[in-house]
C-alpha cells in the first residue's frame, strides 16, 4: 500500500469516527429535549392548539399527562407520539 492510499484510508477513518460522534451527540440532545416536561401552555403552543383543546384530547385518550406538584405536565416525546398515531 502506498503512502497516498494509507493517508486516504486514515482520513476516511477519522471522518467516520467524527461523523459517529456528531450523530451520537445529536441523538442524546434530541432525547433530552424530547423528555423535557412541558406546562399546559407550552404543550398547547407546541401542538398549535388552544389549552381547551388539550382537555378534549385528554378526555378522548389521545394525550397522556402527568401531575407534578399539582400541576399537569406533558412530555414532548408523548406529544410527538400522539401526533404520529392520530
Q: Which residue, 47, 50, 5, is CA-closest to 74?
A: 47
25 and 66 co-located in one domain: no
Task: Please state, rounded to an integer, the average pLDDT across all residues of the chain.
Answer: 87
CATH assignment of the domain containing 48: 1.10.10
Residues 83 and 59 in one domain: yes
pTM of the model as a whole: 0.62
Mean pLDDT to the nearest integer, 66-81: 92
Q: What is the rounded distance in angstroms from the CA atom of residue 42 to the CA atom of residue 28?
A: 22
pLDDT at position 1? 61
3 state SS of 63: coil
Containing structural domain, residue 66: 36-86
Distances (CA, A) of 85 to 79, 80, 81: 10, 9, 6
Contact 63, 78 (CB under 8 A): yes
Q: Are residues 81 and 41 in the same domain?
A: yes
Are 10 and 47 in the same domain?
A: no
Q: What is the mean pLDDT of residues 24-44?
A: 83
Please check whether residues 48 and 30 belong to one and the same domain: no
Amino acid at each position: 500500500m502506498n503512502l497516498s492510499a494509507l493517508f486516504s484510508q486514515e482520513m476516511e477513518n477519522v471522518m467516520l469516527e467524527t461523523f459517529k460522534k456528531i450523530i451520537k451527540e445529536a441523538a442524546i440532545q434530541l432525547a433530552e429535549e424530547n423528555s423535557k416536561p412541558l406546562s399546559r401552555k407550552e404543550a398547547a403552543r407546541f401542538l398549535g392548539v388552544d389549552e381547551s383543546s388539550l382537555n378534549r384530547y385528554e378526555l378522548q385518550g389521545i394525550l397522556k399527562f402527568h401531575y407534578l406538584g399539582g400541576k399537569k405536565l406533558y412530555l414532548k416525546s408523548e406529544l410527538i407520539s400522539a401526533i404520529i398515531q392520530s
